Every structure is written in C-alpha cells, then in structure tokens.
Structure 1
Amino acid sequence: MPEVSLFVYGTLKRGQPNHAALCRGYLRAERAAVRGRLFALPAGYPALVVREEDVLAAGTPDPLADAALQERAGRRPLPEPRKPLVRGELYVFGDPARRLPELDAFEGFRPGGESLYVRVLVPVLTPSGTVPAWAYAMPGPPPEGRPLPGGAWPP
C-alpha cells in the first residue's frame, strides 16, 4: 500500500486545534524541519514560505501519482535543508487516496486553480535523516503576515 508523508507546522501539529480531526490514523510521526520562513497571519494560523529551488515537485489532482512521486524522490539523495529552518512534525499516512484530497480541501489547495496554499514536495530534515515530504506553503510572503524568526508556531 502506498504511503504519503506530510510536514506540518501549524494547526495540524499535536496539541493544536485541527490535529485530531485531520491527522488521526497516522502510521508514524516525528520531529522535523524544512528550510523556509514562517509567518504568523492575523487569522490566527501560520504560513510557510519555501524557496523555489527547494521544491522537488508540485501537488497534482492525483493523490496516488503524488504518493508515487514522493516514493521515487526518496530513492535519490536529498540535500539536507539549510537555515533558516521551520520546525514542525512529519506524519506518514497509509491512505493517500483519501488523505491528500481531505487535506487539500482543508488547506484550500486546488491543483491547477487559484489557491491560498500550494502543496509542494520538499526535503524534510528528521532525526533519522532527510526525506521528501509534502507541505502546504504560500507562494510568497503574505503581505499581512508577521515573520516568526524562531521558525516555530505558536511563537
């Protein structure tokens, strides 16, 4: 069965309001970090911005193809993310056909359409090494966002 990995940095982390509803049933979880910048938004949640050169792939409407793409990316050596780092958690799920569309809808990601966030495949640093994982990121710094220089939310 295919697996899909997701880096979370905000309301999907353990102890945050959307974790129980959207991250239940994960296979594994561990501390993790990605290269990027984190912003606190006035709406009460954070936004991740990653560098274009760190994006391995963009999410598509086909969750099984995206899971396969992630698996292929994990077969080759990945660069270790450099600073600045955003800290969060990495979750591995065994149900990409259900999980990715559910998370895409929650994050407002519409492949090929106008979206608040984009789903991107990025190198994620974990205690056991660097792995490819999907993350929801904003295409650029949000004009109304406040930078979080510590790279963690809540600040």
Structure 2
Amino acid sequence: MAHNVFVYGTLRKGERNHHLLADSPCIAEQAWTNGQLFATDSYYPAMILGEDLVYGEVYTVTDEILAQLDELENHKGDPETDLYDRKATAIHTDSETLQAFVYLLVDKQHEVLGGPILYNDWKVHRLFNEKEDYLYFAYGSCMDDDRFKKAKIVHCFQNLIGRGVLDGYTLKFAMKGAKGGAADIVEHGGAVEGKVYHINKEGLAYLLIREGVEAGHYRPAIISCHINGELSDNVLTFIVCDKAEELKPTDIYANEILRGGTGTLSEAYLAQLKEKLKNQFNMLFD
C-alpha cells in the first residue's frame, strides 16, 4: 500500500536520514502544513500542533519504508512510550492539497523542545546558523544591479558564480506588488533560469528586507539547482508566500529581469520570457 508522508527535518533532501527516502517518489519539494517547529536538545527538530506554517517535502512510501520511518521516529502506536505520534493531516503544495502522514512530538515529550526554528524551515535554519556565506539563486529583479547600486549594497553581489537552472519549476508573476506582479517560482514543471551569486551575511540581511520576509511577502527556501551545468545543493532563494493569480508586471520591473539576465541566462530562456510577457500581458520587448 502507498502512503504520503510529509517530512520537515532530517528526512529532507541532503539531510542525514534522507537515505531512507532515496528510492521513494518525491511529490513536492515545496510543501507546507499548519504547526510549529522547534529545535530539541538533540540534532533533530520537532513539530507540534500550531497555527504557523511549517515547510517540508512530501514523499510517497511503501508499507516497508513507512515501518522504517516509524522506527526512526520511535513511533509504535503507544502514546505512553512513543516519542512521536503519526497523524494524517492536510498538506498543501503548489499544485494541490492532499492528505499525508506527519510525525508530531507527543505531549509528554514537550520538555525536549528548545527555541523555535527560523521561518519554520529546518533547512533554512541550519544554513543561516551554520554558514557565514551562501549561494543565492536570483530569478527576478535581483538579477539586475540597479537597485543594488542605489542601496549601496552592490559590493555584496559582485561574486557572480554563473547561470543557475532550477528544474521542475515555472516562473510566474504571482506576487501582488504595489504596482503590478512580481516574480515567483512555482513547482509546476519546466525550468527556471537565474543568476547565482556568492553572498555573505550582509547581502543576506539586505535580501531579507528587500524581499519583505518579515511582512510575509517572500520566504527564504533552500533548493538544488544546476550551476554552470553541475548540480549544487543548499542554494538559497526566495519564494512567494501567498501566491496570487498572475498579474502584469510593470515595464520597469520586466526590464530589470531582462536586463539583469542578459549575458548570463540562455538566449532561448530570455526569448521564452519575452514570449510569455507578450502573450499573457501584451508587453513587447526587443
């Protein structure tokens, strides 16, 4: 029998226990559900019920793999001795809402809880706390350096690694800005190209403000993408939190993307983007 499982900690891609899911189909890399995520006195995070959004991934597993996950999470179906309870709950993705099992720390074990996990995303929390510099995948207006110069932060975006290609995603203008749509990556298949920078904590601090993270406009996320043809893990990007129907971007914003991508993104991708702007929004660019 097949089961959907939502994972938020050490079972995620690139984490220490992901080998248990290596042969299980990944339904969604970008998934979320209601809850709260905390550090513990051990390496792993723990999720409890709550009204926040916890981010993770969804896999389809067999009975055999589910039994292995139960063993890992110390779940035997006895609330008196179990560490985690396994419950079916609603999980949201860019494509659908589905039912999946999630492992929740049982009430009697709440004394192991430490501080909250940054942005309720274990991979983001780890990256920000363990690293001083980051690979950053820019796919929208942050490919252009005009606003970097105006903010006097351009020195943080001088180390361009090259072209990034994010497979399995589509570029959409799904962020409702003050004057029009802003770019987003949506897990709907296809491929999104962008520029990959090597940035430090000063550059990160600027991006968190510019992307409106505290206001809930975008959230930091960790992706795997090809950089100059080679697959790289633990790459930082930003994804729209509350996705809207696609909105027409302003001419200024669209020009920032096209100008910023020229010389790094492929000619085919830039042509595809211009065609999208023409067909969906009647916007014409040379």
* Same fold by TM-score greater than 0.5: yes
Structure 1 unaligned regions, length at least 5: 52-82
Alignment of 1:4-153 (within 5 A): 4-20=3-19, 22-30=20-28, 31-51=30-50, 83-93=51-61, 95-96=62-63, 98-112=64-78, 114-140=81-107, 142-144=110-112, 145-153=114-122
C-alpha deviation, 1:149, in angstroms: 5.0
Alignment partners' CA distance in 2, 1:10 and 1:109: 16
Cα deviation for residue 44 of structure 1 reads: 1.3
| TM-score, normalised via structure 2 length | 0.40
Q: From the CA coordinates, give the structure whose radius of gyration is larger.
A: 2
Deviation at 1:85, TM superposition (A): 0.2
The answer to whether the Cα contact below 8 Å between 1:6 and 1:133 also exists between their aligned partners in 2 is yes
What is the alpha-carbon distance in structure 1 between the residues aligned to residue 118 and residue 15 of structure 2? 20
Runs of 4+ displaced beyond 2 Å: 139-144
| Contact 1:39–1:142 (Cα < 8 Å) also in 2 | no
Secondary structure, in 3 states, of the residue corresponding to 2:100?
Answer: strand
Identity score, percent: 32
Q: 1:48 and 1:85 mapped to 2: Cα distance?
A: 11
Q: Normalising by the residue count of structure 1, what TM-score does the alignment of the two structures yield?
A: 0.71
Q: Compute the displacement of 1:92 (Å).
A: 1.2
- Whether the 8 Å contact between 1:40 and 1:148 is mirrored in structure 2 is yes
Count of aligned residue pairs for this structure pair: 120
After superposition, the CA RMSD in angstroms is: 1.7
Decide which structure has greater helix share: 2
Query: How far did 1:120 drift?
Result: 0.6
Amino acid at match of 1:44: Y
> Does structure 1 retain, via aligned residues, the 8 Å contact 2:38–2:46?
yes
- TM-superposition CA deviations, 1:63-84 (whole Å, max 9, x none): xxxxxxxxxxxxxxxxxxxx51
Q: How far did 1:26 drift?
A: 1.0
Cα deviation, residue 40, structure 1: 0.7
**1:69 counterpart residue number:** none
Q: Secondary structure at the match of 2:119?
A: coil
Q: Which has the higher strand share?
A: 2
Instruction: Specify the SS of the correspondent of 1:50.
Output: strand
Structure showing greater relative contact order (alpha-carbon pairs closer than 8 Å, 6 or more residues apart): 1
Letter paired with 2:84: Y
The AA in structure 2 aligned to 1:143 is E
Q: In structure 2, what is the Cα distance between the partners aligned to 1:27 and 1:37?
A: 26
C-alpha distance after superposition, 1:40-74 (max 9, x if no partner): 112111000025xxxxxxxxxxxxxxxxxxxxxxx
Contact 2:74 2:82 in 1 (8 A): yes
